[in-house]
Structures are given as structure tokens and as C-alpha cells.
Amino acid sequence: MPETVMTLKVRLKTPEKAADKLRRAMGCARFVHNYLLFETKTDYEDYLDELESRLIFGEAHSAGEAQALCVRPESVTKFSLTYRIKTLRKQYPFLASDAPAQVLQQECQRLAGAFKCFSEGKSGYPRFKRKVENESIRYPQFVRFNLKSRQLFLPKLGWLNVFNKKLPLTPGQAKGIHTATVVREGNRFYACLEYTVTVPETRSAEELSRECTGLDRGVVIPLQLSDGTQYGTELKERTGPLTEKIKLLQKRFKHKTRGSRSWRALKKRIAKLQLKIRSIRRDILHKATTEIAKSHGCICMEDLKLKNMTKSARGTVQEPGSDVRQKSGLNRELLLRALGETGVMLEYKLRLRGGLLIRVPPQYTSQTCPVCGHVSENNRTSQSEFVCEKCGHSANADLNAAENIKRAGRARIAGDAGSKGAVTRNLPESGLKTAQPEAHEL
């Protein structure tokens, strides 16, 4: 049976001394990142200035001649960056005393990966890191986890207890844990532990089609299944008071001096409330997705482009946008529901149970009548009501969309099974991907 790598996120019990050591290690990693990025950026800017000067003063008649005369800066790779760690640890003794060498090497690999994505056009130029609420460092070796005592061993820190009482690990999986990523969220520290699990084989196309259920994600009803079940409706009720409290506290910033003690105290207070909102949302999503994965073998959902959906409508000076405040409020509500995180959770939880998550195109799912197939924007009379102008079929708009998603998913299963003989996971066009799941908290 195939195996996959899972990530378990546990909260660490950090005494003041251990928390201080973790903050220092994160500060060292941030220092190395910024130092190497500044050196690389300076070398590249000097190279560009030399190219320009040789062209201006006539030393070269073309860009190719100028490049041949100039000394090109060293290419940025994980080896070239990691090689400088030894010199930096001698030049700055706190790097040797406050952080393991491998933590700094991992930060160099992250920076090298950022440069690689930039060179391939996948992202922008790497940016400097600043001291923020959320930071992370990675321990690639010498990590041990004791399942019986629920303790985690980290280099230069020793054994640390974890808060989680029930962990979904077997003794064999716990022994296989050798790497950890420590994340700071506010004043809390979490460890993301990687372990290997056995994944059952995917069910047959006929069985998946029989158990297929559509899932519509929205703002008013975060999760609406085609069988009529709704999840996440309590999210607004539980986070609403906290959101209003954050708005009131943010208004006090205009009476504070930036960087003052009261300003920092207010910032920490708001960060604590935001962390509470994230914890509530994560708890609701985990409970909902676990229940869905246990009771359904195949879930079909829209392949939403959330990054495009949450773009600002402000526009530019030459072409200003319209309804900016309304779009800003909609973006805020969409981000609160964490629709993308819902898909990630469902994908790995279904896969662990032999199920499948199918992503279908989102076009016209809310405007199509499931009875006669008529497509029109006038079918959606309001946010919650769907009435077909051709046959008169009426239903809840979210439930109607979930039914259309279900039909599209069944058509995708039938098409994949007919063309390849079996339903597969690795078709990027249909969203049947085997991406490694993100860290999750239990």
C-alpha cells in the first residue's frame, strides 16, 4: 500500500527559559537571512552599476561586451549560502551560542529556494524579514519524540512537554520522527512533526460515483452539502464579538505613539484576539471536515481561485475602482471562512480513508437549473433563493449549487474512468492532486 508524509502540529509547553532560547534562535535565523540577502543584493546592484558605467563611458559597445568585461556575481545556491555560515558564526559569536548550525543552514536553503522561484518567474524578489508575531525555524536532525510521556527533544533545548493529550500516532510513527519545524504564534510555540502513514487504495469509480457528494463553499453558509447538511454556520456567532472588540481596539492606535510601550501593549492585545479567532476557526473546520470525511467517500467542490477573488477593488489613480468598501468587506468575510484551508483538510482526510476530493470548474454552478439545465443569471433571484425562469424549479441557492457541483463531479469521475480505466489522483487539470497536506493541529 502507498505511503505519504503527514504533518502533526502540537503546542509546546515552553518555560520562560526555553521560550527565550527559541526566540533567540529565531532571531539568529532572521539575522542570517537578512545579512545574506543584503550581501547578495548589494553585489548584484554593483554589477548592474558597472555594466551601466562601461556602456556610458564607451568601454563597451554592446551589453554582451559589457558583461564580458564585468565580474559577474556568484550564483545564489544553497551551497554558496551555506558555505558562509562558518564565517558568520566566527564573526558574530551569538550565532554559535544561540542557534544550532543546522537551523541556520536550513534558513540558507529557504533563501536559496526563494531566489530559485524568483529566477523562474514564480515569485517576486526575496524580501527582508522583520520581527513579527509569526516566525519559524526548522530542526532537520536529532529530533526525538516520546509518545508515552508526550515529550519532544530539540537540540540545545532538551525535552519539552506538549499540551495535546490524545495524539494520532503509533509507537512506530513516533520513533520515525526526526525533523521538526517550530512556529511562534503570538506567545505560543508549536512544533510541526513529520511522520509517515500508510494510505489505502483509492476506491473504484462505481463506488466513488455512488458515494459522490457536492460541497458548496460560501459566506453565509460556509459549507453546504448536496444532501442538505450544513457546517460552519456557528463561525460568525463565535468570532463576531472578538472581531468587534478588535475594531474598537484598533481605533486606539491614533492616540498612541508608534513604538511606545502602550503602543506595543495594544498591539500584543490585538494579536492575542486574532490568535483566538484563528484557533476557533481551525477548531470548527477540523471538526466539520473530519465528520464529512468519515461519512462521505467522495467530495466534489469548486476549484475557486481565491487569490483573485480576494483582490482589492481600489484600482489605480488613472482608473479608480468602484464599490471599494463593499468589496473590502466581502474579502474580509471570505478570508475569515478560510475556504482554501477547508479544501486542504478535506483532501488529506479523505485520502487517509481511501476517499477522493474532486475539484470542478466553478463557472455557472450557481446559475444552472439541475432539473432542465437552463443557465441564466436571472435564475438567482437573491443571495439565498434560486428560481428557474424556464421551468419554475425553486430551491435554496447554496443547495442548488452543491447539486450542480455533484453532477459535474460525477461526470469527471466517469470521464477519468473511461479514458484511463480507473480514477486517478494526479490529474492537475481536474484537481486530483497528491500534494503534501499542510500542518494541522489536533
Give the pLDDT confidence score for residue 439 in this predicted structure.
44
Choice among 98, 135, 398, 403 that is catalytic: 398
Shared domain check, 142 and 247: no
Final residue of a structural domain among 106, 131, 156 = 131
- Helices within 216-298 (DSSP H only): 235-250, 261-295
Residue 429: pLDDT above 50?
Answer: no
Q: Decide which of 131, 150, 169 is a domain's last residue.
A: 131
Please indicate, yes or no, whether residues 156 and 273 belong to a single structural domain of this protein. no
Reported residue count of the chain is 442
Q: Please pick, among 107, 216, 347, 403, the residue that the annotation labels catalytic.
A: 216
Q: What would the pLDDT profile of 86-98 be if each residue is shown by its tens digit? A: 999 999 999 999 9
Q: Are residues 187 and 212 in the same domain?
A: no
Known active-site residue 302:
yes
413 and 331: one domain? Answer: yes
140, 283: one domain: no
What integer pLDDT is reported at residue 319 of this predicted model? Answer: 67
Q: What percent of the chain has pLDDT over 90?
A: 33
> Active-site residue among 107, 302, 403, 416?
302
How far from each other are the two terminal CA atoms of the chain, in whole angstroms? 25
140-164 tens-digit pLDDT: 989 999 998 999 999 989 999 998 7
Domain total in the chain: 3
- Residue 180's domain comprises 3-16+136-198
Does the annotation count 216 as an active-site position? yes
Q: Are residues 293 and 384 in the same domain?
A: yes
Q: pLDDT digit string (tens) for 42-70?
A: 887 887 888 888 888 788 878 888 878 77
- What is the tens place of the pLDDT at every residue in 363-416? 888 888 888 888 888 888 888 888 888 888 888 888 989 999 998 888 888 876
Per-residue model confidence (pLDDT) at position 417 = 54
The pLDDT tens digits of the residues spanning 305-314 come to 878 778 777 7
Same domain, 176 and 230: no
Instruction: Check whether residue 276 and residue 409 sit in a common domain.
Output: yes
Under DSSP, is residue 124 helix (H, G, I), strand (E, B) or coil?
coil
Domain final residue pick, 198, 222, 241: 198
Over the stretch 186-215, which tens digit does the pLDDT of each residue have?
A: 888 999 998 888 888 877 777 777 888 899
Residues 74 and 144 in one domain: no
Rounded CA-CA distance 220/334 in Å is 10
What are the φ/ψ torsions at residue 233 (nearest 5 degrees)? -70, -15
pTM, whole model, 2 decimals? 0.78
Let me know whether 71 and 210 are in one domain: no
Q: Are residues 165 and 291 in the same domain?
A: no
Q: What is the average per-residue pLDDT within 133-139?
A: 86
- Based on the fold, state whether residues 172 and 228 are members of the same structural domain: no
